[in-house]
Amino acid sequence: MNILLINPPNSGRSIPEERYGITSLKQIFRGEPLALEELAGNLLEHRVRILDLKAEPDGFPQALLDFQPDVVGLTGVTCEANVVLQLAARIKENCRATVVVGGIHASNDPAFFNHVAVDYIVVGIGKKNFAALVAALAGGNDKNLNLPGVIRTNPGGQVNRPLVRNSVDDLVMERPPDYDLVSRYRSHYILEKLGINMGFVVSAYGCPHSCSFCSIKGQTGGSYLTKSIAAVIRDIQLLGKVPVIRLVDANTFGDVKRATALGRALQESGMKKQYLADIRSDTVVRHPEMLRQWKEAGLRAVIIGFEEIDDASLAAMNKANKAAVNTEAISILNDIGISIVGDFIISPDYDENDFARLSTYLKGKRIDLPMITVMTPLPGTPLHRKQQHRIINHNLDYYTLTNAVTQTKLEEKQFYTLYAQLLADSHQNARL
Ligand code: SF4
C-alpha cells in the first residue's frame, strides 16, 4: 500500500491582524511532524511518504499525482481542523484513497471529523492502531473492524469519543520514528531564537495532572506513559548531528524516578546535545538536584506553564500549584543556569490592571522567554464544557491560543493592543 501522511500548513487566523492590523500576535509553527514520523516507523511493510505542508506549502497536488496513495493520514491541532477537512475533501475529489484523520483535535473532538470526506478517525496514540487499520485495509478486512480508538465515520449520524486509555503497548517503542522521511525538510526545522537546527524526540505521552484548559488528556485517554530510556537514547542518536533536541512531551518529568534515570543516561551517553523539555514548577522545587544533573547532561532550557500569577487564578484552572512555588522555581533555575521559557495565559476578562500586574511581574523576574497566550476553551477540555455558553467565535481557525473566542471585558481593540504591548515589552530582553 502507498501511505501518504500529511502535516497541514500553518493555517490559524488572527483577529488582531484582521481587524486591527496588529501582526505581532500571529504564531508560526516550525517543528517537524514527529507524530507522523512515529506512525511511519510502524508501517514497515508499506511505502510511506510524509508531506509537510508547513515546510512545502505548495506540495499537495503533486504529491497526490506522483504517489497515488491508497491511504492518506492527516493530523492537526485545533486551529488546523478546518484545513484538515478541506484537504480531506480535495483528496476525495482527486483520488480513491481512504482518508484517516488523527492527532490531538481528532482525539478530543472526533465528532468534528465525522464528515463525508473522512473514512476513519483515530483517537489517542495512533501508532499501533493506525498500522492495524492499514493492515485491515490492505487485506480487505476493514468492514467489520473493531479496534478500540478507531472510529468509522458515520456522516449525518453520531460519533462519540470512545473511552480508551492508551497503554504502553500503544507506543510500539521498539520501532523508532522514521526521521528519514523528513530529511528533505530538515533545514526548515530550526529553533528560531538561535537559528540552529532542532530535532524532536518524544519520551513521554500524557500528563498526570488535570489542568482545566489543557487538551493533553485526549492524547492518551488520561494515562501517563513513558518510553524506555534505551528507546529515547536511540531516537536522539537517529537524529545524527542535529545539535538541539526538543523533548516534545507535555511533561518530561512526570515520573521523577524515571526522569532522573533518563538524565543520568543522557549524561553517560557522551552525546554532546542540548535539550529543551517541559517541566512543572513544583517538580523543580521538589527536585532541584535532578535539574542540576540534567544541566550537566545538556539541559539548556525548560518550558514551564506558570499560567497565572496569583493563587486564585491558578486554582480556578485546576493547576494544583501556587504562585509562590512558581517564584521559587524561577530562582532555582536561574541559580542552576537553566533558561526558562515561561508560559502565561491571559484571560479575555483581563482589564488594564490585570495587564499592568502581569507586566510588572514579568519585569521583576528573570524568565528568559515569556510566551503569552489567551485562555481558549478547546473542544474536549473541562474548560470548554464549563464555558461553551460564553463562546462567541466557533470558527476553529481562530483557536490559535492568541485570539479571544469569548467576549473580552475590555473593548476588543484595547485588549489586543495591551496584549501586543505586553508581549513586545516582555520580549525586549528575550534570550534562550
Ligand atoms: S501540567 Fe501541563 S501538560 Fe499537565 S495537564 Fe497541566 S497544562 Fe497540561
Give pLDDT tens digits for 364-380: 999 999 999 999 999 99
At 164 the pLDDT is: 82
pLDDT mean across residues, the chain: 95
299: β partners:
275
In whole angstroms, give the CA distance from residue 275 to residue 260.
14
Helix, strand, or coil (residue 248): coil
Element (H, E) at 136: helix 127-138
The number of the ligand 1 atom at minimal distance from the alpha carbon of 217 is: 5
Burial letters 147-186, b for 16+ CB under 10 A, else e: bebbbbbeeeeebebeebebeeebbbbebbbbbebbeebb
**Ligand 1 midpoint to CA 120 (Å):** 28
In whole angstroms, give the CA distance from residue 400 to residue 403.
7
Which pLDDT band, with edges at 50, 70 and 90, does 110 fall under? very high
Burial class (CB in 10 A: 0-12, 13-18, 19+), 326: buried
Is the pLDDT at 432 greater than 90? The verdict is: no
Task: Locate CATH 3.20.20.70 in the chain.
Answer: 189-426
At 424 the pLDDT is: 95
Helix, strand, or coil (residue 51): strand
Average pLDDT (229-237) is 98
Q: What is the pLDDT of residues 247-292, one digit of tens each?
A: 999 999 999 999 999 999 999 999 999 999 999 999 999 999 999 9
What is the CB < 6 Å shell around ligand 1? 207, 209-211, 214, 216, 250-251, 280, 305
At 142 the pLDDT is: 82
3-state SS, one letter per residue, for 297-345: HCEEEEEEEEECCCHHHHHHCCCCCCHHHHHHHHHHHHHHCCEEEEEEE
Q: Which three cell numbers, joined as nine digits, stand for 334?
A: 536561574
> Which residue's alpha carbon is at the smallest distance from atom 3 of ligand 1?
250
Task: Locate CATH 3.40.50.280 in the chain.
Answer: 2-152
**Ligand 1 midpoint to CA 255 (Å):** 14
Q: What is the pLDDT of residues 117-175, one digit of tens each?
A: 999 999 999 999 999 999 999 999 888 888 889 999 999 999 887 788 999 999 999 99
Is the pLDDT at 193 greater than 80? The verdict is: no
The number of the ligand 1 atom at minimal distance from the alpha carbon of 213 is: 7
> Which residue's alpha carbon is at the smallest distance from atom 6 of ligand 1?
211
> Which residue's alpha carbon is at the smallest distance from atom 8 of ligand 1?
214
The number of the ligand 1 atom at minimal distance from the alpha carbon of 215 is: 8
**Ligand 1 midpoint to CA 117 (Å):** 33
**Ligand 1 midpoint to CA 305 (Å):** 8
Contact in structure between 99 and 72 (CB atoms under 8 Å): yes
Classify domain 189-426 at the CATH class level: alpha beta
Which pLDDT band, with edges at 50, 70 and 90, does 179 fall under? very high
Out of 3.40.50.280, 3.40.50.2020, 2.102.10.10, 3.40.50.150, the CATH code matching 2-152 is: 3.40.50.280
**Ligand 1 midpoint to CA 157 (Å):** 33
**88 vs 427, which has greater pLDDT?**
88
In whole angstroms, give the CA distance from residue 164 to residue 184.
36
**Ligand 1 midpoint to CA 154 (Å):** 32
